[in-house]
Amino acid sequence: MGTSRDVERRTILKAAGASVAALGLAATTGCGGSGGTSADGTVTLRYAWWGGEPRAIAIKKTIALFEKKHPKIRVKPEFTDYEAFWEKFQTQASGGNPPDVFQNAVGFLRKYDRRGVLMDLKSQADAGNLKLENFRNGVLANGQADGKQIAVPVGANTMALVIDRKAFEKAGVQAKFGWTWDEYFDALQTVRDKLRIAGDTGYFSIMYLYDLYLRQHGKAFFTEDGLGFTQDDLTQWWEDGYKRVKSGLVADPKKVEQVKPKSALSAGLAASEFTWDNFSIRYEGEGESDYGLAPIPTTDGKDTGQYLGSLMLSAFAGTEHPEQAARFIDFMVHDPEVGSIMGYDRGILATTEQYAAFTPTDPTAKGVAAYEEEVATAGVLGKITPHPSGADVVEAAFLRIGGEVAQGRTKPPEAARTLFGEAKAAFAG
């Protein structure tokens, strides 16, 4: 769902941010998407996703399982990293030839629905080819827009604060549910004073974290057709962030750049970093400390503004094989064995069948499951913020411009004006 210093998402849609050119798409011609039908009636579907090699290995296992149970449907895999995926997808969509089924995210739903790319899956549900039941914690709504079901979640995640446990313990500070932003920044100051490292890696360029902060104040980053905050709101957010960079509370952005693709947290430059909870697996692999998930700070001591985001599957509206595409999606989101294979690679499993089928064994996955359970039990989860067409471009711009603020290259008032200007162009594109 957003930017969060994860390796995949740090590439952050350079392709999508570079162009908002309209797509001339004949979505219902049936000329694209499908691999065709063989003489014996076997159908071939193209299935595309982004992600690393472990995800590709797991998904290929699920494809083999599907083909074994559906011998008349073959699935051709297409996968790459996040940036390259959306570069390629934009080209495919422009030519009316996107994959039959593909991984999707909330920032792209309205963009490609408006261009006629996405199938309304309700018709296939009505035909009995796809079940829209048994989704956990209301995540099915994440794939809905303008009265249509244009994507189906495969996993769910939420924003979290990843902390260096050893650093927090050594500094004598504790993260707890209900703590306020003032208490959070006080804790980071204590870390800075006692350990001589920054408290945070660069929170104020993370769009989805700012969305939570706005939600805590009765606003939101996006409305259904634009931005849900003012230039003054954003100027204040970035001014506060830059002050904390200058004071050493937030890590030096030049040093953060130097350690990439490694995280500044796992590199020891800071004691905490905001990200999506299921991305936390990267820190144990990169760093030499002990890392854990901590609660989002609040404004009122209770409301975190959190919601469950999702990775989702969509189908091409112009596929030659809508029934088979829907049956494939149904299998991938409901089959228990698929859940056992995928685990929490794409977030906590979205359906009850798959959630029950997988028991995490490693400490990181157990920690993610426990964190989401704690958040759900706390009763703070709300509905996901609507994302208008162009949200992907705005996300890329927010990361880029926030980085310019952090490095002192752009003053916050000018940066806010620039963001609003680019957002206006993105929404009109």
**pLDDT tens for residues 174-226?**
999 999 999 999 999 999 999 999 999 999 999 999 999 999 999 999 998 99
Q: In the prediction, which pLDDT does 39 show?
A: 72
**172 and 146 within one domain:** no
For residue 170, being part of any structural domain is answered with: yes
Higher pLDDT, 7 or 201: 201
**120 and 78 within one domain:** yes
**296 and 337 within one domain:** no
Of 88, 73, 52, which is closest to residue 323 (Cα–Cα)? 73
**254 and 134 within one domain:** no
**pLDDT tens for residues 132-190?**
999 998 999 999 999 999 999 999 999 999 999 999 999 999 999 999 999 999 999 99
Return the structure tokens found at 277: 């909870």
For residue 255, being part of any structural domain is answered with: yes
**288 and 423 within one domain:** yes
CB-based contacts of 126: which residues, under 8 Å, 6+ apart? none
User: Rounded CA gap, 342 and 93, in Å?
Assistant: 28
Other beta carbons within 10 Å of 368: 25
Higher pLDDT, 429 or 25: 429
Return the structure tokens found at 199: 């408290």
Q: Say how many domains are in the chain.
A: 2
How far is the CA of 102 from the CAs of 46, 82, 86, 168, 179, in angstroms? Answer: 8, 13, 11, 41, 39
CATH number at residue 151: 3.40.190.10
**143 and 278 within one domain:** no
Q: Tell me what the mean pLDDT of segment 311-332 comes to.
A: 98
For residue 1, being part of any structural domain is answered with: no
Burial 33-66 (b: 16+ CB within 10 A, else e): bbbeeeeeeebbbbbbbbbeeebeebbeebbebb
For residue 391, being part of any structural domain is answered with: yes
Q: Model confidence at 30, in pLDDT bands (50, 70, 90)?
A: very low
For residue 368, being part of any structural domain is answered with: no
Q: In the prediction, which pLDDT does 35 show?
A: 62
For residue 376, being part of any structural domain is answered with: no
**199 and 114 within one domain:** no
For residue 60, being part of any structural domain is answered with: yes
110 is in which domain, residue-wise? 7-17+25-157+310-358
Q: In the prediction, which pLDDT does 34 show?
A: 58
User: Rounded CA gap, 384 and 403, in Å?
Assistant: 25
**172 and 153 within one domain:** no
Domain boundary among 322, 343, 358: 358
Return the structure tokens found at 84: 């390259």
**88 and 44 within one domain:** yes
**347 and 251 within one domain:** no
User: Rounded CA gap, 207 and 228, in Å?
Assistant: 13
For residue 352, being part of any structural domain is answered with: yes
